[in-house]
């Protein structure tokens, strides 16, 4: 079976992924976004107890493709989402 190609958009919802998939997923997603000239993205990690949010923020701090990130405003998901600015292609 061939993989299904999904168009890259400016939002990634992590609810359907396992926690162990998140590091590789973020790297692949950021690479695809940069290739598509998308530099402002929203990562939806959910509110819950904040465990996934902390993990995502830790990964963002170390990711060389990320120039900045912050909690999303209320209308974009509040503390259940993070806005990420990616570095443009060199």
- Is residue 40 in a domain? yes
Tell me which residue range forms the domain holding 28.
8-45+66-74
Work out the number of other CB atoms within 10 angstroms of the CB of residue 60.
17
Indicate the SS3 state at residue 69. Answer: strand
Q: What is the pLDDT of residue 90?
A: 75
Confidence band, pLDDT 50/70/90 cuts, at residue 4 = low
Distance CA 39, CA 35 (A): 10
- Is residue 30 in a domain? yes
Residue 27 token pair: 């790297």
The predicted-structure confidence for 35-74, as pLDDT tens digits, reads as follows: 999 999 999 999 888 899 999 999 999 999 999 999 999 9
Confidence band, pLDDT 50/70/90 cuts, at residue 3 = low
Q: What is the pLDDT of residue 80?
A: 94
Work out the number of other CB atoms within 10 angstroms of the CB of residue 22.
19
Distance CA 20, CA 16 (A): 12
- Is residue 60 in a domain? no
Average pLDDT over the chain, rounded to whole?
92
């Amino acid at each position: 079976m061939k993989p299904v190609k999904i168009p890259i958009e400016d939002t990634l919802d992590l609810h359907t992924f396992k926690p162990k998939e998140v590091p590789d997923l973020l790297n692949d997603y950021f690479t695809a976004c940069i290739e598509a000239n998308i530099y402002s993205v929203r990562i939806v990690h959910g509110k819950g107890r904040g465990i996934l949010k902390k993990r995502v923020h830790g990964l963002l701090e170390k990711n060389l493709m990320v120039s900045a990130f912050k909690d999303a405003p209320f209308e974009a998901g509040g503390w259940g989402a993070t806005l990420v600015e990616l570095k443009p292609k060199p």
